[in-house]
Amino acid sequence: MAEVQSSKGSPSLDMTPMVDLAFLLVTFFMLTATSRVTEPVVVDTPSSTADKLLPKNVILISIDDKGKPFYNINNSEVRKKTLQKMGQQYQITFTEKELQTFGGMTSIGVPMAKLKEYINMEDAQRVAKPSPGIPHDSLHNELGDWIQFGRIEAAKQAKTEEERAEKLGREFKYEPLRYAIKADGQSNYIAVKEIIKVFTDIDIYRFNLITDLEQGPVVAK
Amino acid sequence: MAEVNTDGGGGGKHEKKRAKKSSTRIDMTPMVDLAFLLLTFFVLTSTFAKPKTMEINYPAKPEDDKDQIKVNNALTFILSKENAVFYYYGEFYPAGNEKGMAPTTLTKTDFSDEGLHKLLLDRNKPTTVAIDALTEKLKRKEIVDTTYKRLVNREKGSKEALTVLIKADDQAVYKNVIDVIDELNICNIGKYAVVDMGAKENELLKATSK
Say how far apart CA B163 and CA B77 lie, in whole Å.
11
What is the residue-averaged pLDDT of chain B? 75
Shortest CA distance from B57: residue in chain A: A206
Does any CB of chain A come closer than 8 Å to the CB of residue B82? Answer: no
Nearest-neighbour CA in chain B from A52: distance (Å): 5
Q: What residues of B are in contact with residue A10 (Cβ under 8 Å)?
A: none
| E strand or H helix that includes residue A178 | strand A178-183
| Region A188-206 average pLDDT | 85
- Please, how many CA atoms are within 13 Å of residue A3, restricted to the half-sphere of its CB? 0
The domain ranges of chain B are 2-45, 72-124+162-209
Model pTM score: 0.73
The domain ranges of chain A are 47-213
Contact A48 B171 (CB under 8 A): no
- Type of residue found at A44: D
**Per-residue pLDDT tens over the stretch B6-21:** 444 444 445 455 555 5
Contact B46 A32 (CB under 8 A): yes
Does any CB of chain B come closer than 8 Å to the CB of residue A37? Answer: no
Does any CB of chain A come closer than 8 Å to the CB of residue B200? Answer: no
ipTM rounded to 2 decimals = 0.73
Residue B48 pLDDT level (bands cut at 50, 70, 90): low
CATH of B72-124+162-209 among 3.30.420, 1.10.10, 1.20.120, 2.40.50: 3.30.420
For residue B22, CA distances in Å to A17, A24, A53 come to: 22, 30, 58
Q: How many CB contacts within 8 angstroms connect chain A with chain B?
A: 159
Contact A205 B42 (CB under 8 A): no
pLDDT of B103 reads 73
Q: Cβ neighbours of residue A1 under 8 Å, at least 6 residues apart?
A: none
**Per-residue pLDDT tens over the stretch B92-146:** 777 766 766 677 777 878 777 788 888 888 877 878 888 888 888 888 887 788 8
Shortest CA distance from A44: residue in chain B: B175
Say how far apart CA A89 and CA A111 lie, in whole Å.
13
Q: Of the given ranges (A174-188, B19-33, B106-120), which has the lowest mean pLDDT? A: B19-33
Contact A209 B53 (CB under 8 A): yes
